[in-house]
Amino acid sequence: MLNYKEYERWIKAAGDALRSAVLDLEHGFYNWACFKAEQAAQMALKALLHLTGNPAWGHDLVGLYRTASNLIESEDAAIRECCAMLGKMYITARYPDALPGGTPAEYFTENEARKAVECGEKILRWVRDAANSLREEAESKAG
């Protein structure tokens, strides 16, 4: 049985994080745009796991994606690459001691933030498409 209520909570939070990432990008807070894009991707993947009643724990985007893609039997190399890129931003975009000197704001660029937001958008789209496919499959079996 699919858990639509929990899916909707998580996918809404993912969309909110992504909208916030876009605002940070527009205002030059590139490290925060990167981190929030990572958070959007993480929440979206967890939304899909919650939908299917699977554990949605941890912060490893590649691992979360691997679990989600195995569940729906759909692997996308571009999505996996986005997960790998965004996963590297989870700590480095926030903590000054994650980089050799300075602060994250001094290291993250507009180009990186744009790519991060684009990846966040791709992952949310992939999750929504997967959720819709699961819903259609469940409805066809029920009807």
Q: Where are the domains of the chain?
A: 4-142
pLDDT higher than threshold 80 for residue 69 = yes
Dihedral over Cα of 139, 49, 42, 6: its sign: positive
Superfamily for the 4-142 domain: Nucleotidyltransferases  domain 2 (1.20.120.330)
Give the confidence band of 60 by pLDDT, cuts at 50, 70, 90: very high
**Number of other CB atoms surrounding residue 16 within 10 Å:** 14
pLDDT higher than threshold 90 for residue 121 = yes
pLDDT higher than threshold 90 for residue 73 = no
More confident residue, 3 or 1: 3
Q: What percent of the chain has pLDDT over 90?
A: 85
pLDDT higher than threshold 90 for residue 98 = yes
Q: Which pLDDT belongs to residue 74?
A: 80
Report residue 95 CA to chain centroid gap: 20
DSSP at 59: S
Model-level pTM? Answer: 0.95
DSSP at 93: T
Mean pLDDT, range 105-123, rounded to an integer:
98
Give the confidence band of 55 by pLDDT, cuts at 50, 70, 90: confident
State which amino acid sits at residue 125: R
120 within 8 A of 37, measured Cβ to Cβ:
yes
Q: Which pLDDT belongs to residue 97?
A: 94
